[in-house]
Structure 1
Amino acid sequence: METLSDELIMQQVTEGNLDLLKVLFDRHHKHVYNFLYKMSGDRMLSEDLTQDVFYKLIKYRNSYNNGSFMSWMFTITRNSLKTYYRRTHKNHEDIGVLAYKAVEEENETMENHAQLQHALNQLDPADRELVLLNRFQEIRYEDLAEMMGSTPGAIKTKVCRILKKLKHIYLESL
């Protein structure tokens, strides 16, 4: 199973082999959780929505059209988060800057990570989402363009501008 691509495994899931979803879960649940956590700052919500995403992969398996599995999965992930905010009447745009708990260890790596997370949280949520998907989840521009209803060139330009903005925010916090 380790040699099969996500797309081939998902194709088999759509054909009724639901046991193979465990392989996809094992490969990607951490990516989904990390993305949701970086977007929401809420561990419990991220855990719940991660489970919901994989439930929806089963529920909507027939909508998978043999394209990029990662693109399809993160489209479901993004929609799950947006649905949560819509249903709870929380505005996704008002997530705001998340507070960081002080870490007793004076580990430079942890400090840099916190500064980067703080800088990410200062971005507009839509911009933060693009950077997280592209740089942390390694989703290609072509797949992002498909998810966002745009072109790869436009997405690449937008990500580049967001990264410049992020760099400026990050350097100001040092």
Structure 2
Amino acid sequence: MLEELIQNYYDRIQYYFIQRVKDRYIAEDLTQEVFLKVVLALPKRQPDHFESWLFTIAKFTLYDHYRRKKISVGVEDLATLASDDLPFNQKAISDTALIDAINRLSDKLRRPLILSIRGYSYQEIAAIIGVKESTIKSRIFQARQKIKKQVKE
């Protein structure tokens, strides 16, 4: 049964992580962590909707990963940066200047901004960081303002 579960879901879970962390090795570690949690939980629990239960475990494993890790932005994140993620024309400054400006932010402001750049909703970021959604909106706004000020200098 366990072998069948791994065959059916391993690649999907790994792809889920690759899309979010942009690093194959970290994605592999997180995928293995999810299946370890599944192996430990299955004797105690037989969920009715296995797939949704499995992806819930994956989601919270990812949240834990971001809580443990100091995240920073890289060029690969800038490629996915939407025009409305920052309040100025990104093309007018170099990628390295923008990356430096983002990475100089305090962790409190940098983490929500980077998670936003990576496509997480305010609600998801709030759950990852453990604060209210309104706090996340405020921190992302503050981060954008600080970056705008830094790159103008």
1:74 aligns to 2:62 (yes or no): yes
* 4+ aligned runs moved over 6 Å, structure 1: 66-70
SS in 2 for 1:57: helix
In the alignment, the residues of structure 2 paired with residue 137 and residue 21 of structure 1 have an alpha-carbon distance, to the nearest angstrom, of 23
TM-score (norm 1): 0.54
Post-superposition offset of 1:165: 0.9
RMSD (Å) for aligned C-alpha atoms: 3.6
Letter in 1 for 2:60: W
TM-score (norm 2): 0.60
Classify 1:75/1:163 alpha carbon distance in 2 versus 1 (closer, same or farther; 3 Å): same
In the alignment, the residues of structure 1 paired with residue 55 and residue 29 of structure 2 have an alpha-carbon distance, to the nearest angstrom, of 21
Letter in 2 for 1:113: D
2:17 to 16, 25, 28: 28
Give the total of aligned pairs: 122
Post-superposition offset of 1:21: 2.6
In the alignment, the residues of structure 2 paired with residue 130 and residue 149 of structure 1 have an alpha-carbon distance, to the nearest angstrom, of 11
SS in 1 for 2:94: helix
**1:112-167 superposed Cα distances (whole Å, 9 cap, x missing partner):** 22221111121123322211101x21111111112222211111111111111122
Q: Which runs of 5+ in 2 are unaligned?
A: 42-51, 75-89
Post-superposition offset of 1:17: 2.3
Letter in 2 for 1:140: S
Letter in 2 for 1:18: I
